[in-house]
Amino acid sequence: MTSEVVENEFEFYSKAEKYWKDVPATVDGMLGGYGHISSIDINSSRKFLQRFLRDGPNRTGTTRALDCGAGIGRITKRLLLPLFKTVDMVDVTEDFLTKAKSYLGEEGRRVRNYFCCGLQDFSPEPNTYDVIWIQWVIGHLTDNHLSDFLKRCRAGLRPNGIVVIKDNMAQEGVIMDDVDSSVCRDLDVVRKIIRRAGLHLLAEERQENFPDEIYHVYTFAMR
């Protein structure tokens, strides 16, 4: 539980905000020096996501997606804009969202909103999104804030919409990273928080072909 490792909630959030303000607004900066894994990541995410966009009675729509912890728009540009008519982006760092406007190029015209906000304070517009994509950012939320945010995401989905989390998973328990002021949870803790938010897991997948020295990365789809 994050309550065991986060001593001061205000400090936990403000330290993370300060950390990201000093990170370069580049793909390498977004990925902590691992910019070279971006294509492997995007290709796997696309395969994972497309299984929900195929034909069928419960097919997820392709009208609008939300990119949470969007940074400069790496996922918006390469994963979401090619598949969805419009995308909204939310990130706590204003400089990243400013950079996104040039990084996204012509296709960026289809980004409808740039929300500058921490996810603990963000509420997706109800009944609006086909897909809410949350990648490499849940570690910046306490358990309670993550559960509450996922409840708000659930309300933000259109019929047959899905919430997707893709993130690092610890081997056991909850590990604090003092450098960027984030936590890494194990699979059981994340699954419990998903259930607590009233969401039902549809699929879970471990990312392959990432460097051995980094955490295992898992993707979850839920509604």
Which pLDDT score is estimated for 17?
96
Which pLDDT score is estimated for 55?
77
The pLDDT > 70 percentage for the chain reads 100
Strands (E), the chain: 64-68, 86-91, 111-116, 129-135, 157-169, 174-177, 182-185, 201-206, 216-222
The span from the CA of 60 to the CA of 52, in Å, is 6
Cα–Cα nearest to 19, from 184, 206, 181: 181
User: Is position 92 annotated in a ligand binding site?
Assistant: yes
Which pLDDT score is estimated for 56?
80
pTM over 0.75: yes
CATH, residue 57: 3.40.50.150
User: Could you tell me the residue range of the domain that residue 65 belongs to?
Assistant: 1-220
Cα–Cα nearest to 68, from 109, 126, 129, 23: 129
User: Is position 69 annotated in a ligand binding site?
Assistant: yes
Q: Counting beta carbons within 10 angstroms of the beta carbon of residue 86, is it exposed (0 to 12), middle (13 to 18) or buried (19 or more)?
A: middle
User: Is position 119 annotated in a ligand binding site?
Assistant: yes
Which pLDDT score is estimated for 2?
80
Which pLDDT score is estimated for 57?
82
Which pLDDT score is estimated for 88?
98
User: Is position 88 annotated in a ligand binding site?
Assistant: no
Given a contact cutoff of 8 angstroms between Cβ atoms, the answer to whether 49 and 131 are in contact is yes
The span from the CA of 153 to the CA of 151, in Å, is 5
The span from the CA of 80 to the CA of 44, in Å, is 13
User: Is position 46 annotated in a ligand binding site?
Assistant: no
With a cut of 50, which residues of the chain have pLDDT below it?
A: none
Which pLDDT score is estimated for 24?
95
The span from the CA of 108 to the CA of 65, in Å, is 13
Total structural domains within the chain: 1
Which pLDDT score is estimated for 54?
84
